[in-house]
Structure 1
């Protein structure tokens, strides 16, 4: 009988322990973790950070003191991962790797720090000797409050972007860019000097890059003509040819070529390109009229 009661007692204890485990309360994080990623040229930039909220507090100057290191978020240090060399503010180079982003907020000026010790909790063990880059930026006053600390990418172009840090009524930002020109020019050279690689799309991309980067327009025209010879009726290529004419200052040819692009686009039921060409024609006609 004693053995029976001992077994019952043990079962009761086990059930009670199980109930305690099940009764554990899990609360959401007050500063949720977030990740943002942006393609910059051929580079991929990822930022991981935690997002505290204002919750009625005075942020800069009190919760986040001026002139002291801040983790740029909450919990672990904010991290930036880059796969290829990245340029900061058009002058400072960061090699591929992972960096902690620390800041020193100030009323008139902020210091933004890229530190090689990326896996620290907050800024408690921050070591200035591990800094890769320090830059100075001016804070901007926001008209509307940002309740939850936010980092995002703005003003994104094919090879650049602004990284913005916003919280409460304050915003700071810095420019990041990734070199694409050397790689693209190397690829263009390989293609255009290879007699076996005559592909319409490659001629088109070569011409488009020369157009977009203000290079030799005569060479761009030669390549777009070769592309169209290999792919007649490719209205997007015809449109690029019109753009090259316009950049050369030959608006009559630009308008005529854009009109051809409209005809080709309509045959393929692409009304978007019809509208694009129509807008360009209106713009070029206005410029042509001013020149006269």
Structure 2
């Protein structure tokens, strides 16, 4: 009895020791890899293992990577897709909700599989991301399936890789490439919604105790022409006395533009009037230029003249007067101001640009 007990303990000890294997390279030389990109404000991360072709050109797709859903002869899955890599599960994570090929997918981490076919591949995003490979794949755990077209490659890719391409402000294409085949799929994020949510969260922190944060949020909405009613409320805080934004030209200018887009022209005019009291030379110059772009010539000329009166004899205000005269069609007066501004320029590119402006005025052409 004692001998049996000792033998049993010895076996347990041996099994425990054997299970504590030392660290080595991944089996089969399949390199572990991680690729991560931010698309919009969404972090996308893929963890996978990279098998190599190893001289098996022409025997990867449809052979090593079997077609469709197969019985791997191990585990409890009788219809398993390819693991989209080697060894452990390939996983893909999204920090915010996304759409894959136009279909919605919640934020989270997913096991990523591919059912390969020469003309059409099925991408599978599984709620189970912790199993080994696809031996225990269960279709009832699918969060999303989408179909995409594989694409042929001119050059062979030795080791399987995932790459991000065709990136925009809110979207990207992710492609699995191996041997002479690429399987791409488009990921889109709701960048505007994600950004607005971040603003709402951060303005409740210490970042909401200064006018700059409220101004940034309101200005972003103006630039993207979205959420303007909320932007106006954020502008209330940006121009409020509590944080000093009531004495900043930029906050009033931004508020004026929001009001204008909301069709509140009278309030917009009142807001910019308040802001001009705090405007610096460059503020006034850029505001006048924006008025010219909006074809508000009379208002622009008035600002150029006020700026010249406040900051006489500078390059900026002399050029402002040149633009004002040119807008009125008085090219002779415009030329006079431009020639006065020229000696004040030292930077070679600006000087060359000024010489071009002077030539245009001599030819009787508008410089605006």
TM-score norm. by structure 2 comes to: 0.50
| Mapped contact 1:204–1:227 kept (Cα < 8 A) | no
| Mapped contact 2:41–2:195 kept (Cα < 8 A) | no
Give the unaligned 5+ runs of structure 1: 1-23, 264-268, 278-292
User: Quick one: distance in 2 between partners of 1:181 and 1:25?
Assistant: 45
Alignment partner of 1:32 is 2:71: no
Give the unaligned 5+ runs of structure 2: 1-21, 70-80, 229-255, 261-267, 305-314, 320-345, 354-368
Higher strand proportion: 1
User: Quick one: distance in 1 between partners of 2:138 and 2:152?
Assistant: 30
1:135 to 127, 130, 146: 146
| Mapped contact 1:200–1:228 kept (Cα < 8 A) | no
The aligned counterpart of 1:104 is 115
User: Quick one: distance in 2 between partners of 1:270 and 1:118?
Assistant: 59
Alignment partner of 1:64 is 2:68: no
Greater relative contact order, per chain length (Cα 8 Å cut-off, separation 6+): 1
User: Quick one: distance in 2 between partners of 1:61 and 1:270?
Assistant: 64
Deviation track 1:203-240 (CA, whole Å, cap 9, x = no partner) reads: 46644543345898953987xx79998784779xx59x
Q: 1:202 to 1:70 in 2, by over 3 A?
A: same
Q: 1:84 to 1:138 in 2, by over 3 A?
A: same
Q: Return the index of the structure with the highest Cα Rg.
A: 2
Q: 1:28 to 1:85 in 2, by over 3 A?
A: closer
The aligned counterpart of 2:50 is 51
Task: Please report the RMSD computed on the Cα atoms of aligned residues, expressed in angstroms.
Answer: 4.6
1:164 Cα shift? Answer: 1.0
| Mapped contact 1:211–1:220 kept (Cα < 8 A) | no
Equivalent residue pairs, number: 229
Higher helix proportion: 2
Alignment partner of 1:78 is 2:110: no
Alignment partner of 1:42 is 2:16: no
